[in-house]
Amino acid sequence: MRTQIRTRSVRSVDGRGDEEQNSEHGMVTAMRVGRRADVHCFKSTLGAQTGLLLAALALGPAWAAEDPGSAIVIKFSHVVAPDTPKGKGAEYFKKLAEERTKGRVKVEVYPNSQLYKDKEELEALQLGSVQMLAPSVSKFGPMGVKAFEVFDLPYLFDGYEAAHKITHGPIGAAMLKQLQPHGMTGLAFWDNGFKEFTANKPLRRPDDFKGLKFRVKSSKVLEAQMRALGAIPQVMAFSEVYQALQTGVVDGAETSPTNIYTQRWHEVQKFMSLSHHGYDAYAIVVNRRFWDSLPADLRTILESAMSDASRYVDSISAQEEIEAINAIRGSRKCQVVELTAEETSSLRQVLQPVHQQMGERVGRELLESIYLATRSDRKQSEASAVLPVAVR
Ligand code: LMR
């Protein structure tokens, strides 16, 4: 773990030093200390200077290099393990960006909530304390960008092909634009994958969920999903889930198999049910002011690096999901529960009304346009149940 975040090589376009510039954004302390203290100081800085977020959004950092000898640093913070599609995608982007800009850009990847937890990393991006993130889109809701919670609707997509029609098509592009007024530029969507439920009992039918407490991301749609199953949702940062499961603060959780395996939830949960009930997307976002201040040629190179990194993530995510399920099975610490078509359909039936219930929140027009764009996939896959062939 890094104990100090170096900012020495980053220079401002207007010639001011780091300290002055960061001070303007209330971030001197956070930029100069290690992880825990960093989070701590960041919180207190925020607490003491609530108006600063708005000020930072208005002024924003402008950290392009004025000195051709010094690299522009992109701090890319994320909350998952390096050995996941997102972790690998971040490293691949770093490699391509540094190679193709011939050292003019340096990408520092901070995985595993090393710098910030879920909500804090979004605030840190808006303030310019980090430049790039890849949060699960469910986490944009508390910022007021509710449309992204549409992805949390249970059984919205039957497979990657359907999901990519949205994330890699015009609907996804329009959604990313909604981040601009919040001080962010959305560059791409990546897959986390399809989520499975974990608990200390096999979860096969809606009745199995009754009265259990489940950790969810900060999404009202996910809260509604758990309530529809008769469970109690509890919003919690990703980095806190392992301990919450271990100590029984919550009874269960949901995420992708790669996250379950790399966060070792399977060591503290007796069962993982292959419910495949929801698609989890990431949006790769950059601080808008930072991005706009880059020389145009660099932005073009970075966009191409991101586009290739996105293709790479697409190419590995489904396979990594299968490998993680097999690894969890092989660990013999957690039983992998395969659902019958009838059990899956009983879950679908109870969860379907969440679409109607949360339609207003996510935007009915958006939801209809997603149905329309993916309807043919839906029909095809309804005939062959929900799970990808390799998992079944
Ligand atoms: C979560 O459940 O919080 C995950 O989506 C975290 C992540 O970034 O994959």
pLDDT at 321 over 70: yes
137's CB contacts (< 8 A; 6+ apart) are 148, 149, 151, 189, 281, 282, 283
Say if CB 178 and CB 147 are below 8 A apart. Answer: yes
The pLDDT score that the predictor gives to residue 69 is: 65
Q: Which H, E and C letters describe 31-86, residue by residue?
A: HHCCHHHHHHHHHHHHHHCCCHHHHHHHHCCCCCCCCCCCCEEEEEECCCCCCCHH
Confidence bin at 8 (pLDDT 50/70/90): very low
Confidence bin at 54 (pLDDT 50/70/90): very low
Backbone angles phi, psi at 382, to 5 degrees: -60, -30
CB atoms within 10 A of CB 366: 18
Among 5-9, 93-97, 367-371, the range scoring the smallest mean pLDDT is 5-9
pLDDT at 358 over 90: yes
| pLDDT tens digits for range 104-113 | 999 999 999 9
**Ligand 1 midpoint to CA 79 (Å):** 7
Q: Is 7 in the pocket of ligand 1 (CB under 6 A)?
A: no
CA–CA separation, 23 and 208 (whole Å): 52
Confidence bin at 375 (pLDDT 50/70/90): confident
CA–CA separation, 42 and 85 (whole Å): 28
The pLDDT score that the predictor gives to residue 323 is: 97
CA–CA separation, 230 and 15 (whole Å): 58
**Ligand 1 midpoint to CA 31 (Å):** 24
How large is the average pLDDT for residues 260-280? 98
Among 13-17, 55-59, 97-101, 319-323, the range scoring the smallest mean pLDDT is 13-17
Q: Burial level of 200, CB count in 10 A (0-12/13-18/19+)?
A: middle
CA–CA separation, 78 and 136 (whole Å): 10
Confidence bin at 50 (pLDDT 50/70/90): very low
Q: Which residues share a beta bridge with 190?
A: 282
Nearest ligand 1 atom to the CA of 192 is: 9
| pLDDT tens digits for range 55-88 | 444 444 444 444 556 899 999 999 999 999 999 9
How large is the average pLDDT for residues 46-53? 41
**Ligand 1 midpoint to CA 11 (Å):** 33
